[in-house]
Chain A
């Protein structure tokens, strides 16, 4: 009798603790045609983001996301993305895209999400970049056209480091720190600087990808804001 009572009590305790646990972090749904391995990888990546803890956050990061904190990132993503599907996204080398005219709260993934060997933080950068494009209230944060000529800090023509083609005139820049390029690089730079439970590699990767993406912010006042926020003293 006593043993049975103990067992029942243990089960009740377990059930109670389970019900006290936070609600499922991932509110979005996956289309049935999303391959299991892609779904698993995305959930693994977002689970990792959900574990992040930070010692502090920059001012711009606080304005866009809040603290450097996994729950904050999950909330940011889950409040914007309602579903995940598969799409060719132009049949090129893209990993993900948002097609607002079709469904502005949906992220489309491509097979490249697992086919290509991106570091984990690069996959997340793209996914969070795309999640910013779901915001109808901000006109989906459209990109600005890169200026012509589009020169780097040394006065050289800014070219795709991949194809070598000039980026001048391409819709691949931002004029604000709050757009998709700006917000995702601010997220990564904060992870690089302030994450307290990330591996050395994750922090290094976050810095490398953030620094490169920063080059896509073109308005002088936006550049100055980000420099003051994240690169002061460097």
Chain B
């Protein structure tokens, strides 16, 4: 009578082992699929990753936590490179691929921003747009640290060379509106982003009690209000006053 018992016990042990091994395989496979192919905390220059290359911003010195970067993150980075090179702002992938951004994708977007020359106004503004549009889904305090840096950038003086004052030509007053907006385009996009975010918070505050990112958003507006960029400061102060009652 002991033999069947031993057999059953042995069978149970074998089944258990198989189950454990199978479970481990599933777990390992899952981890491999989302496994970051690298963990990046610093820029190639060794400077703070999030702030690398940004202009004279004290916040750039802050060291962000290591960020896992997956193959998908790198794929999105390459897609954005293609879109920016094409100069096609109506590329549908901007709306289909860049939503619910992962920390790794956001990290690479900020890295890309830092690597662009200051004169790349549309490219920089596009990155601010992508990060700003996703605030409601994936926004973090770290994103607002990046926005603080964008808002504090010194004014771009010339589309050909942001560091140089250029004398306006006779036709330039005619196109001054387009030239002026493009010169401050990343900040214009940021302003639009903050206004959109705060107006939504204001609308939802009565029903949901607001959002923990309201204060960082108001802080970014204050940074912009003191940026010394004449096209930005007045509007930033106006928005700051309008939404200051949301402060928590």
Chain A residues near B (Cβ < 8 Å): 41, 44, 48, 51, 89-95, 97, 112, 115-122, 125-126, 143, 154, 156, 159-165, 167, 170-172, 181, 198-202, 204-205, 207-209, 212-213, 215-216
Contact = CB atoms under 8 A, between A and B. Distances in A.
- Residue with the highest number of chain A CB atoms closer than 10 Å, among B169, B171, B177, B192: B177
Interface stretch (B15-23, B119-127, B204-212): B119-127
A89 B171 CA distance: 6
Contacts of B92: 199
- Residue with the highest number of chain B CB atoms closer than 10 Å, among A115, A199, A212: A199
Contact of A116 (B160, B169, B173): B160
Contact of A117 (B122, B184, B234): B122
Contacts of A48: 88, 90
Interface string B27-60: 0000000000000000000000000000000000
A160 B173 contact: yes
Interface of B: 87-92, 94-95, 119-123, 125-126, 129, 133, 158-160, 166-185, 188-189, 192, 230-231, 234
A209 B137 CA distance: 27
Given A117-B119, A167-B176, A200 B169 contact: no
Contacts of A97: 171, 174
A202 B188 contact: no
B88 A161 contact: no
A165 B168 contact: yes
Nearest to B165: A163
B126 A91 contact: no
B159 A92 contact: no
Contact of A41 (B87, B172, B177): B87
A120 B84 CA distance: 11
Contacts of A125: 178
A117 B159 contact: yes
Contact of A122 (B166, B168, B172, B181): B181
Nearest to B229: A161
Contacts of A165: 168
A199 B89 contact: yes
B173 A170 contact: yes
A93 B173 contact: no
Contacts of A213: 177-178
A144 to B, nearest CB: 12
A44 B171 contact: no
A155 B241 CA distance: 18
Nearest to A171: B173
A188 B36 CA distance: 42
B182 A92 contact: no
A116 B184 contact: no
Given A117-B122, A199-B89, A162 B169 contact: no
Contacts of A163: 168, 176
15 contacts: A48-B88, A92-B169, A95-B178, A115-B159, A117-B120, A117-B122, A125-B178, A160-B180, A161-B176, A163-B168, A167-B173, A170-B173, A181-B177, A204-B192, A212-B177
A94 B87 contact: no
A215 B159 CA distance: 22
- Residue with the highest number of chain B CB atoms closer than 10 Å, among A181, A204, A216: A204
Given A90-B170, A156-B234, A44 B180 contact: no
A93 B168 contact: yes
Contacts of A92: 166-172
Contacts of A118: 121-122, 159, 178, 182
Contacts of A172: 173-174, 176
A95 B176 CA distance: 11
Contacts of B88: 44, 48, 120
Contacts of A117: 119-123, 159, 182
B127 to A, nearest CB: 11
A94 B169 contact: yes
B175 A199 contact: no
